[in-house]
């Protein structure tokens, strides 16, 4: 799969929920910024990305609870897995492993993002729409 940073935001990345779509657009923009930043600026941008991703996942979870999304535990479990993975990358970056963190945002996150958007997030957004949201 090509790296997400090679993509520009476009409507094909939307799931049809304004909250999720706004977060996804921000994710794409932050990944592009991380791909372009020099090594000195990378850690600060990565910290901002990590904060954004955690907030994004929390907003999705809030929507799932609000609208009674039946597979909420499965979707949340995947979010928890991503949070643990992100925490591990943050620790490795703090210890000086810039290459690992760059690989994470260039390869791991984009592939996960597309797959997650096409499956769990699309299903969540469809459920919310079916419930009037």
DSSP class per residue in 81-124: HHHHHHHHHHHHHHTT-HHHHHHIIIIIHHHHHHHHIIIIIHHH
- Give the residue among 60, 53, 67, 79 at the shortest CA–CA distance from 20: 60
Distance (Å, whole) CA 108 – CA 89: 11
Q: What is the mean pLDDT of residues 96-102?
A: 97
The helices-and-strands tally (H runs, E runs) of the chain is: 6, 0
Quick one: tokens of 73? 């535990």
Residue range 83-91: average pLDDT? 98
What integer pLDDT is reported at residue 5 of this predicted model? 42
Model pLDDT for residues 5-41, shown as the tens digit of each residue: 455 788 889 999 999 999 999 999 999 999 999 999 9
pLDDT of residue 129: 97
This model's pTM is above 0.85: yes
Q: Which residues touch 59 (CB under 8 Å, ≥6 apart)?
A: 19, 20, 23
Which residues constitute the domain of residue 126?
4-130
Distance CA 45, CA 110 (A): 16
Residues 35-78 pLDDT 10s: 999 999 999 999 999 999 999 999 999 999 999 999 999 999 99
pLDDT band at 2 (very low <50, low <70, confident <90, very high): very low
Token duo for residue 56: 């994004």
Reported as a pLDDT band with limits 50, 70 and 90, residue 1 is very low
As for how many domains the chain has, the answer is: 1
- What CATH number does residue 122 fall under? 1.20.120.50
Q: Is residue 113 very low, low, confident or very high in pLDDT (cuts 50, 70, 90)?
A: very high
Q: Is 96 left (phi over 0), alpha (psi -120 to 50) or beta?
A: left
Residue 6's pLDDT is 56
């Amino acid at each position: 799969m090509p790296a997400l940073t090679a993509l520009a935001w476009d409507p094909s990345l939307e799931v049809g929920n304004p909250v999720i779509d706004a977060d996804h657009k921000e994710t794409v923009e932050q990944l592009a910024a991380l791909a372009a930043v020099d090594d000195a600026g990378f850690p600060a941008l990565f910290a901002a990305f990590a904060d954004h991703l955690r907030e994004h996942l929390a907003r999705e979870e809030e929507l799932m609870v609000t609208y009674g999304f039946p597979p909420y535990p499965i979707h949340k479990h995947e979010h928890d897995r991503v949070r643990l993975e992100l925490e591990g990358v943050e620790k490795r970056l703090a210890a000086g492993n810039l290459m690992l963190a760059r690989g994470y945002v260039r390869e791991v996150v984009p592939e996960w993002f597309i797959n997650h958007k096409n499956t769990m997030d699309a299903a969540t957004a469809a459920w919310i729409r079916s419930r009037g949201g």
